[in-house]
Structure 1
Amino acid sequence: MGSKSELVHKLQQDILMWQGFKPASAACAERIGLGAIEDAFPGGVFPKRAIHEFITVFPEDAAASDGFIAGVLSNLMKDGAACMWISTARRLFPASLSAFNVEPERIIFMDVATEKDALWIMEEALRCEGLAAVVAEVDGLSLIESRRLQLAVEESGVTGFILRKDARRMASTIATARWQISPLPSVLENGMPGLGFPRWQVELLKVRNGIPGNWIMEWAGEGFLEVKRVLQQDGWREDEKRKIG
């Protein structure tokens, strides 16, 4: 029989595994290309068997969250799995997902009349092990509803993404992580005309058993880049980019 502290540590590790956090030995093999963001999670790996909550009060934040989630989906769906996207008022243009290496035909879009229907469909879809992820756009999410969704992902291992749109209905939930993605101006390379790659301010507001943080990320066609702002002696700021995916 081990000591009390050893038993407590073992129980903590078991709980983290049930919540979708992998031990350190499995972290390197299961990282999905988010760099330092993944280091904020226990074991240094993005939890797939979990509910991730995105705060999208403003339309521009919703669009930025759609893009960031699409970048994550490109990794979660790389083995050929499908994803379900549920909404009562969807604004996402399916063809735009191809810019993030996601094939639109592998997304099952469910447009329903009420949020009650959206949450019921999401719970049922999260129990389907054949899906890589389920995304739902809702105004709010109660503690009880989030608990039901978390129980569903713990059974199947499917990743759940909730986009919450109403700031007046920000009740506490048991989501593993709470994110806020804000758009940033794109930066052109070498004076080229047009628009640069999508760039975001990524805030991890809450993470269970992890460390919240703030990063600048860019999608560079094939994966995420982490952007660091460096202040030069002449007062100008330069961007240093590091490929992480």
Structure 2
Amino acid sequence: MDALPMDALPMDRPALMAALRARIGRLERGGAAASLARAAAGTVALADSIDAALPDGGLARAGLHEILAAEPGAATGFASLILGRASAMPGGNAPILWIGPDPDAWPSGLTRYGLSPADLVMVRAPRPSDALWAMEEALRCPAIAGALLTLSDIDLTAARRLQLAAEAGGALGLLLRPDTEEPGPSAALTRWRVNALPGLGGTQHNLGDPSWSLDLLRCRGGQPRTWTATWRTTLDRLDTEGDTTPMPATRRRRA
């Protein structure tokens, strides 16, 4: 699937809506089978210890999840891992939308986390209202496996609309936001904080496998927890070391 040409993206709101509505309409016409397959899958598996702590046995599809970026590169990697696994379907990969005021993700670099550039549609939406509209329409589309929205602030009403859209369309939605002192209330099923740790197995010319500190700050039907996670690039596997008890209150004071 071809992405919108970047030089054609700076456009007025009606043109942006018309172009994206046409793209989503084409996807919807062939998306019924993919939607059924995602519904059957139910969740996205991350790692055994993480999946065991989540109420659905994995990260629930047809829902909104929030990632607070304590370190932007680490948060982008974690989000890419989730979206890559959300995209994988028995009959072939389904599309992923990456939406933001100026999407700066490097598609070729995301392949190390299993997110193929061939499945990725980058959507530039400079105004928050356009970005929220694009995200809501994407989540309602049965042919789309997942969508990510980078946005600094979002009110509770808008977040609830995105959660309802994900439930209606069956897609997995990610909100990627900066980690702030007061992130505010959330309508998402889960809220994570992701920070970077020194890579493992690195050399002078190789940073090694990426390692992250993963804090599950909020989880509907579950308890806050924390893990140290390492993405094994060559094995396509997330290894974890983590607490089996709820996170101390001092660690989740900004949740």
TM range (shorter): 0.7 to 0.9
Match of 2:24 in 1: none
The aligned amino acid for 2:86 is L
- Label 1:112 to 1:49 Cα distance change in 2 as closer, same or farther (>3 A): same
User: Is the Cα–Cα contact under 8 Å of residues 217 and 224 in structure 1 kept in the other structure?
Assistant: no
User: Is the Cα–Cα contact under 8 Å of residues 180 and 204 in structure 1 kept in the other structure?
Assistant: yes
Q: 2:217 aligns with which of 184, 205, 208?
A: 205
Residue 83 (structure 2) pairs with residue 73 (structure 1): yes
Structure 1 gap segments, 5+ residues each: 1-21, 230-245
User: Is the Cα–Cα contact under 8 Å of residues 84 and 135 in structure 1 kept in the other structure?
Assistant: yes
Q: State, as a whole percentage, how many aligned pairs show the same letter.
A: 30
Q: Secondary structure at the match of 1:121?
A: helix
Question: CA-to-partner distance for each residue in 1:191-242, whole Å, 9 max, x for gaps?
Answer: 785221111001100000112110011111233332439xxxxxxxxxxxxx
Whole-Å separation in 2 of the counterparts to 1:108 and 1:137: 14
Point out the structure with max Rg over C-alpha. Answer: 1
Q: 1:42 aligns with which of 55, 73, 94?
A: 55
The residue correspondences of 1:50-61 to structure 2 (distance < 5 A) are 50-56=63-69, 58=70, 61=71
Q: 1:82 aligns with which of 95, 103, 106?
A: 95
Match of 1:62 in 2: 72
Q: 1:184 aligns with which of 190, 194, 197?
A: 197
Whole-Å separation in 2 of the counterparts to 1:161 and 1:30: 14
Match of 2:117 in 1: 104
User: Is the Cα–Cα contact under 8 Å of residues 179 and 193 in structure 2 kept in the other structure?
Assistant: no
Whole-Å separation in 1 of the counterparts to 2:160 and 2:106: 30
Structure 2 gap segments, 5+ residues each: 1-38, 243-255
Whole-Å separation in 2 of the counterparts to 1:131 and 1:31: 15
Shift of 1:90: 2.4
The aligned amino acid for 2:217 is L
Q: Secondary structure at the match of 1:42?
A: coil
Whole-Å separation in 2 of the counterparts to 1:105 and 1:225: 23
Q: 1:152 aligns with which of 151, 165, 180?
A: 165
Shift of 1:169: 6.7
Query: Which moves more between the two structures, 93-102 or 148-157?
Result: 93-102
Query: Which moves more between the two structures, 87-96 or 146-155?
Result: 87-96
Residue 188 (structure 2) pairs with residue 175 (structure 1): yes
User: Is the Cα–Cα contact under 8 Å of residues 68 and 178 in structure 2 kept in the other structure?
Assistant: yes
Question: CA-to-partner distance for each residue in 1:104-152, whole Å, 9 max, x for gaps?
Answer: 1211000112111101110011100101100000011111001101111
TM (norm. structure 1) is: 0.75
- Label 1:210 to 1:90 Cα distance change in 2 as closer, same or farther (>3 A): same
User: Is the Cα–Cα contact under 8 Å of residues 44 and 60 in structure 2 kept in the other structure?
Assistant: no
